[in-house]
């Protein structure tokens, strides 16, 4: 652990300091597995992928038209070309051409030997195997050269990349059927608190349903982790200690919600201190100020606040970048875009705020964001209504209508 280690809430960190510390304190897993490309979606690539072939592997036509050997002296309006045959994708024209010869060619068909230019069908008149072209032409137009997209031997996907649907298609296009990916990060999680009830149980006064576990399940599933849900652990020191030690033996990370803020039962901190090296931090942010982080054996521990919104925001800002480091992923920071605020946003300088908002686009295609009225850390429905977080840095004060702000979309679809 670093100098940030402490047994109390003496350490106050900015969001950047906390995120950087979490990323620094975690090491990537090195084990990998070979999987079919259909099973590689959302997995982390273990090593650079080298292209085994040129893409495309032959020079071909980019349009339906006529393949010719271009000459700068050709006057298209006064020259007739003799049609020698046709070329289709997978069925090339086998003979070389030159002079005033032309081959009717379809998109994707290999260019005949000697041909270097394609004139589109719309610019041609064909009659009795004679073709006349109208307009002007440029040498090499409408032709895709071999290796134009990818060249044999080049790196076409880099290690640490989270594979997307387009990546899978690209891998298939070069003839590769299996890829090496990092094994999935193993994460155990549970909630703490005597007041928590599982779904299906009746509630007594002062009790609530445990929603945080389901939120964490969704966040971890979306991340691509191999997860172990350990349920609700009561405020019992021996049960908590047993659960933490067992979870840490079999997982890369353990996540809890609740029991890390000032005023919680004293045994929470004492149990964590007895099983590992734990930091208790105050993050200069709203919501989600309390955060615990450390090690239980070789496993990383993340203790999140108990408020539902705080759980989601601290996971997004701190836990996910750390898990991405463990997974071996190279891109770890949340995506942010600039948007114009449609309302005045109240804020005092001193700490970072993440307010829930609705991101959209105006009639000119410019990004705009509207903050929600309800910003309480216990209002989970606000995370469903919102589609983005408005990131307000610590140094900024009130935001006026029309001012530009930084926005973190929940997804790339708005």
- Contact residues for 218 (Cβ-Cβ < 8 A; gap 6+): none
Are 270 and 318 within one domain?
A: yes
CATH number at residue 93: 2.170.190.11
Q: Is residue 27 part of a domain?
A: yes
Query: How does pLDDT run across 8-24, given as a tens digit for each residue?
Result: 444 789 999 999 999 99
Closest CA to 82 of 105, 104, 100: 100
Q: Is residue 257 part of a domain?
A: yes
Are 197 and 323 within one domain?
A: yes
What percent of the chain is helix, strand and coil (3-state, nearest 5)? 20, 35, 45
Are 257 and 371 within one domain?
A: no
Are 344 and 405 within one domain?
A: yes
In the three-class reduction of DSSP (H, G, I as helix; E, B as strand; rest coil), residue 84 is classed as strand
Q: Is residue 5 part of a domain?
A: no
pLDDT recorded at residue 76: 62
CA distances from 71 to 98, 116, 276 (A): 10, 10, 77
Spatial contact of 358 and 405, defined as CB atoms under 8 Å apart: no
Are 314 and 387 within one domain?
A: no
Are 65 and 196 within one domain?
A: no
Closest CA to 27 of 295, 224, 236, 353: 295
Are 122 and 65 within one domain?
A: yes
Spatial contact of 326 and 352, defined as CB atoms under 8 Å apart: no
Written as six digits, the tokens of 213 are: 């576990």
CATH number at residue 203: 3.40.980.10
Q: Give the number of domains in the chain.
A: 4
Average pLDDT across the chain, whole number: 89
Maximum CA extent, the chain: 95
pLDDT recorded at residue 210: 84
pLDDT recorded at residue 17: 94
Query: How does pLDDT run across 343-386, given as a tens digit for each residue?
Result: 999 999 999 999 999 999 999 999 999 999 888 777 778 888 99
Which of 286, 305, 327 marks a domain boundary? 327
Mean pLDDT of 324-344: 92
Q: Is residue 70 part of a domain?
A: yes
pLDDT recorded at residue 137: 84
Are 116 and 25 within one domain?
A: no
State CA 76 to chain mean position distance.
51
Q: Which domain holds residue 164?
A: 37-54+148-182
**Rounded-to-integer distance, Cα 331 and Cα 413, Å:** 19
Are 160 and 192 within one domain?
A: no
pLDDT of 414 > 80? The answer is: no
**Rounded-to-integer distance, Cα 404 and Cα 113, Å:** 57
Of 89-98, 231-240, 261-270, where does the model show the most confidence? 89-98
Are 44 and 114 within one domain?
A: no
Phi, psi of 9 (to 5 degrees): -90, 45
Is the pTM of the predicted complex or chain greater than 0.95?
no
Are 205 and 289 within one domain?
A: yes
Written as six digits, the tokens of 167 are: 């990546």
Q: Is residue 3 part of a domain?
A: no
Phi, psi of 198 (to 5 degrees): -80, 160
The rounded percent of the chain whose pLDDT value lies above 90 is 70
pLDDT recorded at residue 266: 46
CATH number at residue 361: 2.40.340.10
Q: Is residue 414 part of a domain?
A: no
CATH number at residue 177: 3.90.105.10
Parallel, antiparallel or unpaired: strands 208-209 and 196-197: parallel
Q: Is residue 190 part of a domain?
A: yes
Are 115 and 197 within one domain?
A: no
Which spans in 15-133 are helix H? 15-25
Which spans in 305-380 are helix H? 308-314, 320-327
Q: Is residue 352 part of a domain?
A: yes
Query: How does pLDDT run across 75-115, given as a tens digit for each residue?
Result: 666 778 999 999 999 999 999 998 889 999 999 999 999 99
Which spans in 12-67 are helix H? 15-25
């Amino acid at each position: 652990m670093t100098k940030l280690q402490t047994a109390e809430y003496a350490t106050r960190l900015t969001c950047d300091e906390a995120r950087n510390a979490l990323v620094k304190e975690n090491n990537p897993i090195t084990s990998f597995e070979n999987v079919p490309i259909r099973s590689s979606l959302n997995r982390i690539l273990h090593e650079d992928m080298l292209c085994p072939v040129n893409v495309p592997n032959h020079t071909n036509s980019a349009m339906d038209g006529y393949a010719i050997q271009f000459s700068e002296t050709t006057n298209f309006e006064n020259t007739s070309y003799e049609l020698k045959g046709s070329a289709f994708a997978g069925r090339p024209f086998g003979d070389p051409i030159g002079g005033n010869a032309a081959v009717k060619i379809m998109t994707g068909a290999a260019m005949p030997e000697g041909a270097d230019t394609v004139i589109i069908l719309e610019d041609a008149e064909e009659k009795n195997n004679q073709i006349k072209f109208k307009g002007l032409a440029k040498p090499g137009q409408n032709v895709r050269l071999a290796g134009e997209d990818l060249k044999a031997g080049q790196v076409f996907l880099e290690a640490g990349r989270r594979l997307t649907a387009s990546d899978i298609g690209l891998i298939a296009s070069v003839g590769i059927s299996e890829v090496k990916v990092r094994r999935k990060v193993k994460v155990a999680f549970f909630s703490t608190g005597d007041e928590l009830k599982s779904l299906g149980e009746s509630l007594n006064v002062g009790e609530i349903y445990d929603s945080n576990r389901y939120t964490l399940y969704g966040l971890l599933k979306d991340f691509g982790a191999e997860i172990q849900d350990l349920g609700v652990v009561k405020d019992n020191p021996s049960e908590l200690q047993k659960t933490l030690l067992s979870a840490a033996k079999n997982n890369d990370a353990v996540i809890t919600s609740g029991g890390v803020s000032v005023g919680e039962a004293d045994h929470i901190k004492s149990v964590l201190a007895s099983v590992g090296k734990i930091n208790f931090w105050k993050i200069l942010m709203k919501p989600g100020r309390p955060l615990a982080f450390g090690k239980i054996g070789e496993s990383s521990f993340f203790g999140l606040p108990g408020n539902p919104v705080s759980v989601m925001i601290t996971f997004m800002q701190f836990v996910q970048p750390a898990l991405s480091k463990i997974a071996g992923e190279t891109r770890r920071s949340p995506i942010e875009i600039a948007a114009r605020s449609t309302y005045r946003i109240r804020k005092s300088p001193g700490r970072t705020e993440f307010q829930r908002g609705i991101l959209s686009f105006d009639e000119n295609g410019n990004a705009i964001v509207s903050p929600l009225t309800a910003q309480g850390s216990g209002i989970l429905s606000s995370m469903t209504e919102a589609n983005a977080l408005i990131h307000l840095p610590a140094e900024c004060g009130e935001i006026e209508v029309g001012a530009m702000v930084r926005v973190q979309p929940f997804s790339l679809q708005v």
